[in-house]
């Protein structure tokens, strides 16, 4: 069966896919290796992908990659899909890190934060921690793919139990941990339902990772250093309380949509 760009847009719109035109274009380009809005494509793989997307399976997992900052990342069901708002964490860390900084990225997932920072700042080096072996392997492949593997050390570990960084001191500890409240997770979009639950669920109040990370890793932050956290749009007051509890100052930075998104905690 032949299919055109317009057919795919129509099918996506029927299925409630928001950015029907943009997604149709990406699928055609990625699967057929070229794009034309006029041409009709004879390609079973494209038809299969369109129907898969109509089940609300994420486009990013279908094409097996996504773009974040200046890099391209392999993505699959083992990792959270990198989000545009997370680029702000990279932007903030890039500005705050001193020359030749050493930083840690806790809960690294695809590795998008650490790898983008290493790409933007060739003077820096990173330790990236992840709980799941398959996800950590993916992050390491992404470090290779973006030519920063020589400055990227992947560590398998549970940031909630003990301290996986030992006694090493870092200029910055950056983290986009799971921060959705457990009761909110089931209400998220169908697409998010295909992403790993362990990448989303931040416990009853969504704050468990921030509390544990600040408690367990403050000694790993240099005297002038800081934590840089991505937070939920409604978590500014809660993260300020976490900072207060450890006598830290807390600065909140907004995202592109004007929502609170990044918290910088320092002494
Ligand atoms: C919200 S995702 C963030 C991924 C990536 N940093 C990003 O910004 O797209 C959180 C990540 O933390 C990992 N994770 C969950 N629990 C963890 C734990 N206890 N210790 C270490 N990593 C954990 C998940 O597997 C997931 O990859």
For the stretch 86-115, pLDDT in tens is 999 999 999 999 999 999 999 999 999 999
Ligand 1 nearest atom to the CA of residue 79, by list position: 27
Quote the CA–CA distance of 30 and 73 in Å, as a whole number.
Answer: 14
The helix/strand count (H/E) of the chain reads as 9, 11
At residue 41, the pLDDT reads 87
- Would the CB of 135 count as within 6 Å of ligand 1? yes
- Would the CB of 175 count as within 6 Å of ligand 1? no
Ligand 1 nearest atom to the CA of residue 160, by list position: 19
In terms of domains, do 132 and 163 share one? yes
At residue 199, the pLDDT reads 97
For the stretch 188-208, pLDDT in tens is 999 999 999 999 999 999 999
List C-alpha distances in Å: 201 to 20, 34, 132, 162, 259. 29, 39, 15, 20, 20
In terms of domains, do 123 and 237 share one? yes
Give a yes or no: residue 68 inside a domain: no
Query: What's the number of domains the chain is made of?
Result: 2
In terms of domains, do 25 and 133 share one? no
Instruction: Give the pair of three-digit tokens for residue 175.
Output: 């983290």
At residue 126, the pLDDT reads 98
In terms of domains, do 51 and 81 share one? no
Give a yes or no: residue 138 inside a domain: yes
What's 216's domain CATH number? Answer: 3.40.50.150
**CB proximity list for 127: less than 8 A, separation 6 or greater:** 102, 103, 104, 105, 153, 155, 165, 168, 170
**Gap from CA of 119 to ligand 1 centroid (Å):** 21
In terms of domains, do 85 and 203 share one? yes
The domain in which residue 14 lies consists of 2-55
Give a yes or no: residue 66 inside a domain: no
List C-alpha distances in Å: 180 to 87, 112, 213. 19, 19, 16
The chain-wide mean pLDDT, for the chain, equals: 97
Give a yes or no: residue 63 inside a domain: no
- Would the CB of 86 count as within 6 Å of ligand 1? yes
In terms of domains, do 28 and 156 share one? no
- Would the CB of 178 count as within 6 Å of ligand 1? yes
In terms of domains, do 21 and 135 share one? no
In terms of domains, do 91 and 184 share one? yes
At residue 162, the pLDDT reads 85
Q: Whose CA is nearest to atom 19 of ligand 1?
A: 158
pLDDT(43) > 90: no
Helix residue ranges, H only, the chain:
5-14, 20-32, 44-54, 59-63, 87-96, 112-120, 133-145, 208-217, 236-245
Give the residue-averaged pLDDT of 2-28. Answer: 96
**Gap from CA of 231 to ligand 1 centroid (Å):** 13
Give a yes or no: residue 72 inside a domain: no
In terms of domains, do 141 and 28 share one? no
In terms of domains, do 40 and 149 share one? no
pLDDT band at 42 (very low <50, low <70, confident <90, very high): confident
Give a yes or no: residue 240 inside a domain: yes
At residue 256, the pLDDT reads 87
For the stretch 45-73, pLDDT in tens is 999 999 999 999 999 999 999 999 999 99
**Gap from CA of 160 to ligand 1 centroid (Å):** 11
In terms of domains, do 81 and 48 share one? no
Give a yes or no: residue 142 inside a domain: yes
In terms of domains, do 9 and 122 share one? no
Ligand 1 nearest atom to the CA of residue 175, by list position: 6
At residue 106, the pLDDT reads 98
For the stretch 122-153, pLDDT in tens is 999 999 999 999 999 999 999 999 999 999 99
Residue in 256, 179, 171 with CA at minimum distance from that of residue 212: 179
């Amino acid at each position: 069966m032949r299919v055109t760009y317009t057919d795919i847009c129509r099918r996506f719109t029927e299925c409630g896919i928001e950015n029907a035109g943009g997604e149709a274009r990406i699928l055609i380009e990625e699967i057929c290796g070229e794009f034309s809005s006029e041409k009709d494509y004879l390609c079973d793989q494209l038809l299969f992908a369109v129907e898969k997307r109509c089940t609300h399976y994420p486009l990013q997992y279908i094409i097996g990659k996504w773009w974040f900052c200046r890099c391209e990342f392999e993505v699959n069901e083992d990792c959270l899909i990198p989000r545009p708002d997370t680029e702000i964490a990279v932007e903030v860390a890039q500005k705050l890190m001193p020359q030749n900084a050493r930083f840690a990225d806790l809960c690294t997932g695809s590795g998008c934060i650490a790898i983008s920072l290493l790409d933007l700042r060739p003077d820096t080096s990173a330790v990236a921690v992840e709980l799941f072996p398959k996800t950590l392997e993916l992050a390491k492949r992404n470090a290779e793919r973006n030519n920063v593997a020589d400055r990227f050390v992947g560590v398998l570990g549970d940031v909630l139990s003990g301290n996986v960084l030992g006694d090493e001191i870092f200029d910055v500890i950056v983290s986009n941990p799971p921060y959705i409240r457990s009761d909110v997770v089931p209400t998220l979009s169908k697409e998010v339902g295909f992403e790993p639950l362990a990448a989303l669920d931040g416990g009853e109040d969504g704050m468990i990772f921030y509390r544990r990370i600040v408690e367990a890793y403050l000694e790993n932050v240099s005297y002038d250093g800081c934590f840089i956290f991505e937070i939920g749009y409604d978590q500014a007051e809660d993260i300020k309380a976490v900072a207060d509890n450890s006598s830290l100052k807390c600065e909140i930075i907004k995202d592109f949509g004007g929502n609170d998104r990044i918290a910088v905690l320092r002494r």
